[in-house]
Amino acid sequence: MQKLSPDNAVAQVPTHVAIIMDGNGRWAKARGLPRVAGHQRGAESVRKTVKACRELGIGYLTLYAFSSENWKRPAEEVGDLMQLLRVYLRKELNELHANNVRVQFIGDRARLAKDITELIEHAEGKTRANTGLCLIIAVNYGGQAEIVNACRRIAIMVKEGDLGLDEISEETVAANMETAGLPDPDLLIRTSGEQRLSNFLLWQSAYSELVFMDILWPDFSKKSLLEAIEEYQRRDRRYGATSG
């Protein structure tokens, strides 16, 4: 395998990378800073990672920005995270659009403030025709809830006679997920050293390669991404079959 480097990326990069961006709070605590400082620094890592994915030719990047469980955090921290989302969308959208990035969101928008949903809709509309990197941002997202909602939609189709029980397949479920039409992640990265999915893309990550990194998200760089891709390339992806 040819070694990846910032200036020498090989063609065998994953089509879809998903990242659980963990460690902002610990990064701030280690420096005697408020948690919001970690989140602010983490936003810079988002910017760098989006740029790195574009440069490497990765087609899809999904970022776990705010889970449905994150509402349990202190109200002040939740407010800081929502404000960072506002700032990111206002500050970065024009550059994302200029770089042909298509922006999509997954997650329940019902609980989000009206101005945030308007910013989300504006970002999706403005970039809808772009053909470069697809940036998927998960906000108020939970994998279990997504599966439940897909089941509800399928049940309605069965009840109304539009779908037979024997017609339900894995493809039917996938078509009713929020990620319908998107490829499943090839590589799922979690920073901070924690080794769990935390309710992120549970259906979609069935055959993803999982890479857990000890680095905290604010310190994540293009070099970190390249290291994760190198690990991904060492894996033997068999999808349940035996190796040849």
Q: 80 CB contacts (<8 Å, ≥6 apart)?
A: 35, 36, 39
Q: Where does residue 107 fall: left (phi above 0), alpha (psi -120 to 50 degrees), or beta otherwise? A: left
How far is residue 123's CA from residue 205's CA, in Å, rounded to a whole number? 26
Question: Could you confirm whether 214 is annotated as catalytic?
Answer: no
Predicted confidence (pLDDT) per residue in 8-29, tens digit: 444 589 999 999 999 999 999 9
140 catalytic per annotation? no
Query: What is the residue-averaged pLDDT of the chain?
Result: 94
List the strands of the sheet with 134-141, edge to edge: 102-106, 134-141, 60-67, 16-20, 187-190, 209-212
The amino acid at residue 79 is G
Confidence bin at 240 (pLDDT 50/70/90): low
Phi, psi of 20 (to 5 degrees): -90, 105
pLDDT for 90 equals 95
Residue 241: predicted pLDDT:
64
Selection from 49, 99, 96, 66 nearest residue 228 by Cα = 49
β-pair partners for 19: 63, 189
More confident residue, 3 or 95: 95
Question: Taking phi first (over 0 means left), then psi (-120 to 50 degrees means alpha), and beta for anything else, what does residue 239 get?
Answer: left
In this predicted structure, the answer to whether residue 143 has a pLDDT above a threshold of 90 is yes
Six-digit token pair at 29? 């605590």
Residue 226 — very low, low, confident or very high, per pLDDT cuts 50/70/90? very high
Instruction: Indicate the range of 2-16, 104-118, 138-152, 210-224 predicted with least confidence.
Output: 2-16
Whether domain 16-142+187-234 has CATH 3.40.1180.10: the reply is: yes
Asked if the model's pLDDT at residue 58 lies above 50, the reply is yes
pLDDT at 118: 98
Stretch 55-62: mean pLDDT:
98
Residue percentage of the chain with pLDDT more than 70: 93
Q: How many residues does the chain have?
A: 244
Catalytic entry in 8, 22, 199, 214: 22
Locate 125 and state its tokens: 């509309």
Give start and end residues of each alpha helix (H) in the chain. 24-30, 35-56, 75-98, 114-127, 143-159, 170-175, 222-234
Instruction: State in Å, rounded, how far the first CA of the chain is from the last one.
Output: 18
What's residue 6's pLDDT?
47
pTM (two decimals): 0.92
Residues 157-189 have pLDDT tens digits of: 999 999 999 999 999 999 999 999 999 999 999
Q: How many helices (H) and strands (E) does the chain have?
A: 7, 6
Question: How much is the pLDDT for 242?
Answer: 59
pLDDT at 127 exceeding the cut of 60: yes
Decide: 189 and 227 in contact? Cβ < 8 Å. no
How confident is the model over 132-144, as a mean pLDDT?
A: 98
| 3-class secondary-structure state, position 211 | strand
| CA proximity to 96, closest of 72, 74, 63, 67 | 63
| Catalytic residue from among 8, 24, 70, 99 | 70
Q: 106 - beta bridge partners?
A: 138
Residue type for position 135? L
Residue for token pair 């894995």: 170
